[in-house]
Structure 1
Amino acid sequence: MTKLTHSIDSLWNDTVLSKDYRPGAAAYQTAVLEQWKMLVETSERVSTRRSLTNTFFLAINSVAVTILGIFWPKPTAGLSVWWILLPLTILLITCFSWFLLVISYRRLNKAKFAIIHSLEELLPARVFVNEWELIQRRGNTRYIPFTAVEIVVPIIFAVTYITAGVLAIVTAL
């Protein structure tokens, strides 16, 4: 049993049942629905933050690549290696941070949707569960999760920086 499965299994409070809500089950269903709404709303907020984070890091890296393109034609012979390594290190740390944040946001939303799916078991319609099942079906097209695409971008920037850094250091020596 994975940690996530264990968390979902322990989501429900066994001591609180629908019959505990007076005057009937309507209050229980309302509570479940409100919790579902809250989780859907917070998952949307996480997605918004994730998008803003990606925009921020993409802007930083776009500026860095532009600066790299401006200075690339200029010879680096005689330039201290430290003037190459310092910005290279900063850019690689930026890429690594971006990569870790993408993974963190993915895990956070995955956990939120596992709970949302669990709450839907107590609601009349299981909209997100059914949406996910429809996406997973392999018809004419294959679903590629956004994270799979999103996680490649900082890696591409990092490889670009490493390649440019190595070439600049070789030229500087």
Structure 2
Amino acid sequence: MSTEELDLYKEIAKVSLENYKVEQGRIIEIYKHFVDISDKWSNRRHHINLLYTSVHSSSMFFFFYTYKDKANLTLFDIFMIPLMCIIGICLCIQWHRSLAFFKRLNTAKFKVVHKMESYLPIQCYKEEWDFLKLETKKHVDLTQINQGVALLLALPYLCFLIYFFLVIFIFSPISPYENLNLQNTSIRADFLFNKNKAICTI
């Protein structure tokens, strides 16, 4: 929490129904400033969503474009493919956790806004939320949708990681590390993928 927000909370704590009429203009200014800060946090969440979406889109495009028609994999690819999948899954989890943090923060901020509105002639945000709940039987907010997208994007990484290990280390008749000559700098692992199996020649 920034120093600006801490100072604002201190100002809110000083407000009471007794001094509302005396400090009505000051209360309205605090209210406007706090709502503006809440909007800024919403914008931050939006930019974070764009960042993660761009990273995953670029990563998946590069990943599948590079390996979709590649029959011969180097030893570097054997380590790089699982690593890229694990990094992608970790990024999805971090994205989900970031959205959960913003959801908790946003909920707390609007509780403060509703409390401040109790000192004002009209409670705009509270009325808006009440109308929304009346119109929709089951409201699903945008944060929940984004969290679902974050988990959904982890599935391609997970599926490809499982497929890679099954094909390379279980269904392959020859181990990728069998007869490995570490002194030969031109070592390559050539994987010829058939319909149901992969043949690895080192």
Normalising by structure 2, we get a TM-score of 0.69
Q: What secondary structure is seen at the aligned counterpart in 2 of 1:167?
A: helix
Q: Percent identity?
A: 22
1:158 aligns with 2:160: no
Q: Which runs of 5 or more residues in structure 1 are unaligned? A: 1-10
The structure having more radius of gyration, on CA atoms, is 2
Q: What secondary structure is seen at the aligned counterpart in 1 of 2:38?
A: helix
**Could you tell me which residue of structure 1 aligns to residue 85 of structure 2?**
88
Cα distance, 1:172 vs. partner? Answer: 2.5
Query: d(CA) in 2 for partners of 1:47 and 1:73?
Result: 42
Q: What secondary structure is seen at the aligned counterpart in 2 of 1:151?
A: helix
**Could you tell me which residue of structure 2 aligns to residue 63 of structure 1?**
58
Structure 1 outlier segments of 4+, above 4 Å: 15-21, 76-81
Q: What secondary structure is seen at the aligned counterpart in 2 of 1:137?
A: helix
**Could you tell me which residue of structure 2 aligns to residue 46 of structure 1?**
41
1:72 aligns with 2:68: yes
1:1-173 equivalences in 2 (<5 Å): 13=13, 17=16, 25-26=21-22, 28-70=23-65, 71-75=67-71, 79=75, 81-138=78-135, 142-173=138-169
Any idea what the Cα deviations from partners look like across 1:70-93, whole Å, max 9, x if unmatched? 123323767564222211221112
* Residues matched between the structures, number: 157
Q: Which has the larger share of helix?
A: 1
Normalising by structure 1, we get a TM-score of 0.79
Q: CA RMSD in A?
A: 2.4
Contact 1:40–1:116 under 8 Å retained in 2: yes
Greater relative contact order (Cα < 8 A, sep 6+): 1
Query: d(CA) in 2 for partners of 1:17 and 1:138?
Result: 34
Code of the aligned partner of 1:31: R
Query: d(CA) in 2 for partners of 1:76 and 1:160?
Result: 22
Any idea what the Cα deviations from partners look like across 1:140-165, whole Å, max 9, x if unmatched? x7532111111011101111110011
Q: Which has the larger share of strand?
A: 2
Code of the aligned partner of 1:162: L
Query: d(CA) in 1 for partners of 2:88 and 2:25?
Result: 49
Contact 1:76–1:168 under 8 Å retained in 2: no
